[in-house]
Amino acid sequence: MEKIKVLVGMASCGIAAGASKVYDKIFELKKLENLDFELVKTGCTGMCFREPLVEIIDHSGSFLYGEIDEKKAVEIFEKHIKNSEPVKDYVVKSDLFETSDAPYFKGQVKTVLRNCGVIDPESICDYEKQNGYKAIKKILNENITQETVIQTIIDSGLRGRGGGGFSTGMKWKFAYNNKSDEKFIICNADEGDPGAFMDRSVLEGDPHSVLEGMIIAAFAIGGTEGVIYCRAEYPLAIIRLNIALSQAREKSYLGKNIFGKEGFNFDIHVKEGAGAFVCGEETALMASVEGERGMPRRRPPFPAVSGLWKKPTNINNVETFANVASIILNGAESFNKYGTEKSKGTKVFALTGKIKHGGLVEVPMGISINDIIFKLGGGIQDDKKFKAVQLGGPSGGCIPEYMSDILVDYDSVNATGAIMGSGGMVVMDETTCMVDMARFFLDFTQKESCGKCTFCRIGTKRMLEILIRITEGEGREGDIELLEELAYQIKDGSLCGLGQTAPNPVLTTIKYFRNEYEAHIKDKKCPSYNCKKLITYTVVEDKCTGCVVCAKNCPVNAITGERKKVHFINQEICIKCGVCFNKCKFEAIKLS
Amino acid sequence: MRIKRIVNEINSTTTDSTIEIEKLDPVIEKFRNKKGNLIPILQATQNTFGFIPKDAFEYIAEKTGLLLTDMYGVATFYAQFRLKPVGKHIIKVCHGTACHVQNAGIITESIMEALKISDGETTPDNLFTLESIACLGCCSLAPVMMIDKEVYGKLTGKLSVNIVKEIQLKEKN
């Protein structure tokens, strides 16, 4: 009988949810009882809303257990691992029977995330068992030419997954056409877009797939050196990348004459970012690698002509590289059979915000936003009303509920004023104020503007000031028009993508939620009861039973009152967090 | 805007006699004369001291020939670099989009209230520094915060204060 395999999801988010304790518990029991089974630390299955996750694969099938703590781990150990009796109550996915969470996986097609949560990311053997490094070996063994590799990528229709949406194959072709004895391959892992975490997941769950993608790119364009520019906020990703790199070097998959091919020299090293959103822009990223302030420069010359250290350079995003090996191995058709006419393949989305089932989903391009949110994501938390979805982070925009039947591909999303970006999807319900969202994003871009272009540096600051005054009830007649005017000037007067897209969150919210702006400015009201200067929490005296629940839960002790007597909220101390409102069982807290 | 930070912090970089500047020698040895070495040197310096002391800038300039202006320009550009000492524990409250939507502001405000410090400040006993950061990438557990290397998810104001107080208690004993 084959050995039982127990996988514990140990990506950053799993660890944050408590996966380490679960792993340690199972490890301890395994040792104590001297049982023979395979215990593996794996990456993220994408089912973040049920973390920590433990998967058990035995002779009968696979069982994914969700929301496991130490106590449940002991129970599963006793019943399932020791006595082969699955604990069905905790199973969230199985290949043997239906579960209530099964719809989350229906409609997903896993290419990029194929190995995440399946293999041990710290084992090169595990990756090789899943056809790892077969694509590059196929190229070398069958003497496939550089041109053919590039053509295959062009034919697949793969477009840059970092947000640009430029054809990956064409990019490679440009870099290939520029002759130089030194060429660089850069992997952009500076995932600064708040609300997106697919790159982290891939790096933590399947780092070798990114390395293989980079090696194939190096072969195709004649790259001699690789750099992975990874943000410092992802310490685990950096650790696992470095493990993967040394394993690949040991096997001669990196270094000199790699894969036994004479003259094929390519090595990769990790460069840690230092915390600047603008470094996701390719020219700023290269400046940062060179050790300078991460400020973008004019293009042309494009990186393919003169990039890092003035050599031809090809830059792709993590998710883009993770797609490459499978395209080479299975052919362009395996990729372009999914998707729409101009947007091929699958795309990973990070589903977060006020959604029931938040996590990572990989779906074919061309699926509707509604399907992602309601079929896969299970709808809105607490069954509140769906208001909008924010796509593309600080460079993107908000798509309102009534447009949520649009299909997700680069062009349809661009038409709404949002952008695909890296695939962050933040869902908002009726309690989210759209003016506040615009303020939030402007606050972000204003801080992250590198300061090179006047319009971006000063314009975003002025826009932020206007948005702050609107959310504080100090908005003036004509502010909306002023915001729009500034927005178009910033778009026109900025050098890089950061400035050119920074006004998008404001423009889309004005376009689709103008009434909310007007309510703030004219009526001094926040329709979503969100903007703190415009709301107050008070106690309804007839309804208050003096149960002290509100006072106990108040984080700043603004509520006073004795047991069984009416309570009182001190407005001077109150930070308007709404905890009392949510905790009160007697509807005795009024929000106005 | 990144430029603003320079003005705020330029005066706060103080000469500290307790800094053992020789600790930098292996770092300098490792990176000297390598192209693109400026950021890794500063990162290693910060790992050594917890921040980048004024003395370190001058020491590195002297030993490597890197220009003070370049180093200062880089150190003030990137959010990661700190020019003043920090507390023993660094509380990083995530203010990414998902956390913002799930009310991350309350987490910062509650901790500010509990520790009686503002965002970006260090407690007088040098135990905690409170920071806001852009995104930890644990969006599905929003709102989240990170204290040292540990990430805490699905927080409320009260819960976050309790976690901080627990650490406080441990330190006292």
**What DSSP string describes B38-80?**
HHHHHHHHHHHHSS--HHHHHHHHHHH---HHHHHHHHHHSTT
**CATH class in words for A346-429:** alpha beta
pLDDT given at position B11: 47
For A565-574, write each residue's pLDDT tens digit. Answer: 899 999 988 8
For A471-488, write each residue's pLDDT tens digit. Answer: 999 999 999 999 999 999
Query: What is the pTM assigned to this prediction?
Result: 0.92
Q: 3-class DSSP state for residue A309?
A: helix
Whole-number percent of chain A with pLDDT over 70: 100
- 8 Å CB contact between A349 and A365: no
Instruction: Let me know if A384 is exposed, middle or buried by CB neighbors in 10 A (0-12, 13-18, 19+).
Output: middle
Low-confidence ranges of chain B (pLDDT < 50): 1-13
- 8 Å CB contact between A158 and A320: yes
- Considering the segment(s) A5-101 as one domain, its CATH architecture is 3-Layer(aba) Sandwich (3.40)
CA distance B140 to A31: 33
For the ranges A128-132, A140-144, A274-278, A577-581, which has the lowest average pLDDT? A577-581
Residue of B nearest to A454 (CA): B1
Beta carbons of A450 and B2 less than 8 Å apart: yes
Q: Could you tell me where the DSSP H helices lie in A60-103? A: 70-76, 83
Nearest to B137 among A233, A354, A579 (CB): A233
Q: Which of A119, A145, A100 is nearest to A7 (CA)?
A: A119
User: What are the chain B neighbours of A578 within 8 Å (beta carbons)?
Assistant: 103
- 8 Å CB contact between A56 and A71: no
Rg (CA), chain A: 26
Pick the residue of A182, A233, A381, A532 with the most B CBs within 10 A to test the interface with B by mutation.
Answer: A233
CA distance A530 to A430: 10
Residues of chain B with CATH 3.40.30.10: 89-172
Locate the domains of chain A by residue range: 5-101, 124-336, 346-429, 434-523, 536-591
Residue type at A145? T
A124-336 maps to which CATH number?
3.40.50.11540
Which residues 25-64 in chain A show a CB within 8 A of chain B?
48-49, 51
The complex's ipTM works out to 0.87
Q: What is the mean pLDDT of residues A370-399?
A: 93
Query: CA of A63, closest CA in chain B: separation in Å?
Result: 22
Query: CA of B81, closest CA in chain A: separation in Å?
Result: 7
Query: CA of A197, closest CA in chain B: separation in Å?
Result: 5
Query: CA of B97, closest CA in chain A: separation in Å?
Result: 5
Domain B89-172 has CATH 3.40.30.10: yes
Res. A343: pLDDT tops 90: yes
pLDDT given at position B8: 47
pLDDT given at position A193: 85
- Considering the segment(s) A434-523 as one domain, its CATH architecture is Up-down Bundle (1.20)
**Strand order across the beta sheet in which B150-152 lies:** B128-133, B89-94, B145-147, B150-152
**CATH class in words for A536-591:** alpha beta
Q: What is the mean pLDDT of residues A385-409?
A: 93
Which residues 300-339 in chain A show a CB within 8 A of chain B?
309
Q: Which of A577, A546, A580 is nearest to A562 (CA)?
A: A546
For A491-508, write each residue's pLDDT tens digit. Answer: 999 999 999 999 999 999
Cβ neighbours, 10 Å, residue A259:
18
Nearest to B142 among A352, A449, A461 (CB): A352
CA distance A467 to A480: 9
For A113-135, write each residue's pLDDT tens digit. Answer: 999 999 999 999 999 999 999 99
